Amino acid sequence: MSRKLLLACIAIVAVLFSANFISCSKSSPAPSPGPGNPCAGVTISVSATSTAANCTNNGTLTITASGGSSGFTYKLNAGGTYQLSNVFSNLMPGNYTVFAKNASGCEGSAAALVSSTSVISVTATSTPAMNCVNDGTITATATGGTGFSYKLNAGGTYQASNVFTGLATGSYTVFAKEAGGCEASTNVNVGANNSISVSASSTRVTNCQTNGTVTITASGSTGFTYKLNAGGTYQASNMFSNLTAGNYTAFAKDGSGCENSVAVTVSANNTITVSNNVAAASKCSNNGMITVNAGGSTGFTYKLGAGGIYQASNIFAALAAGNYNTFAKDQFGCEQSAAATITINTTAGSLFTNVKNLLAAKCISCHSGPSPAAGRDWTVDCQIVDFSALINQRAVVIGDMPQGGPMLTPAEKAIITNWVNAGAKFTD
């Protein structure tokens, strides 16, 4: 074989060998992976069975797990500690999360519930307290558990018996507790066998005397005694006399000590009303007036102030401004009062104003200032009123005023005369 032919054969063999090597590599299985996550693709299945708790810490959870390698450990809730045992006991009723972890550290979880076995209910019946003494009873009946004990009210002590005796009338709360500690309660009332009814009637006080009466009527029992008001004394008679008008409480008590009461009013046949009509006092004059009006009876007399003296007239005059009390008393001695206030009328009358203007024109030079003649200042309203008689005497009757000047004309004198004849008051 020539050298060229040999080289050609070698080249062909080399090409054929290369093509066959690539085809084997694609069909080979992938190489095994190196070290990595042992839980990749692993699913841990967890479930739990429970036994219920009967109001104490005695529930249980049993965990079952599968998936991945064996060698499981178990725990309760995220903060728990893994243990070999798959049983958890002494559990309260409630919701839990159970966890399982295999030997490779692969973990799974599931929700679990511990329920309660006991649903306690309690009922109670009572017998009434007899004759208003403490001999009522309560009998309790409980269901939904075993080994019950019983007590009355929250502060009571549990006892084996479901019967409570020696009870007064009133409302109670009955409790029942079963052996596991489950508790329930109900309300019950102890009544009374005597239901006393009390009513009362009255007669009115007449003529403001102490002669009203109250008569008490009681039913629902026997052997009654009676009294008026809480501080009174029981008596055999149901009638109370010689009473003043007012409000009372009537009591009745039976032979067993059962008591009841009712309100009663003793009224009066005379209801006196008093009102006042008031006239204001004018400035510089004690001429206020009160007219008393009384009703509700007859034969009235009247007085001003508590220390006053009763009089037939209902008019009180010549009064200064101020506060007063008026009284009216009827023929039977019934009395009533009312307040009255007299004010001051500060509006000057036209006649007074004319006189004041006349004095200012004719006499002011002598009767004003710090040292007026004879101490009389005609610029002061009340001095003009107080000396009205003197002004009339000197300027009109005698006619010698004003001194040192022309006497008043008849028209000017008439100004003073008209005011004096009207009453010579500030408001005239």
Residue 1: per-residue pLDDT = 43
Which of helix, strand or coil describes residue 188?
A: strand
410-422 helix and 350-362 helix, angle to the nearest 10 degrees = 140
Distance of CA 71 to the CA centre of its chain: 70
Q: 309-349 pLDDT, tens per residue?
A: 999 999 999 999 999 999 999 888 888 999 999 999 888 88
Q: Quick one: what percent of the chain has pLDDT higher than 70?
A: 91
Domains and CATH numbers, the chain: 45-114 (2.60.40), 121-190 (2.60.40), 197-266 (2.60.40), 273-345 (2.60.40.10), 350-422 (no CATH)
Name the DSSP class of 396.
I
Token duo for residue 324:
């007063």
Q: 79-132 pLDDT, tens per residue?
A: 999 999 999 999 988 899 999 999 999 999 999 998 877 678 899 999 887 777
Over 60: is that where the pLDDT of 3 sits? no
Residue pair 296/272 in contact (Cβ under 8 Å)? The answer is yes
User: Helices (H), strands (E): how many in the chain?
Assistant: 5, 26
CA distances from 130 to 175, 218, 254 (A): 24, 18, 12
From CA 210, how far away is CA 334, in angstroms rounded? 12
Residue 145: CB atoms within 10 Å: 22
Residue pair 56/78 in contact (Cβ under 8 Å)? The answer is no
Which of helix, strand or coil describes residue 331?
A: coil
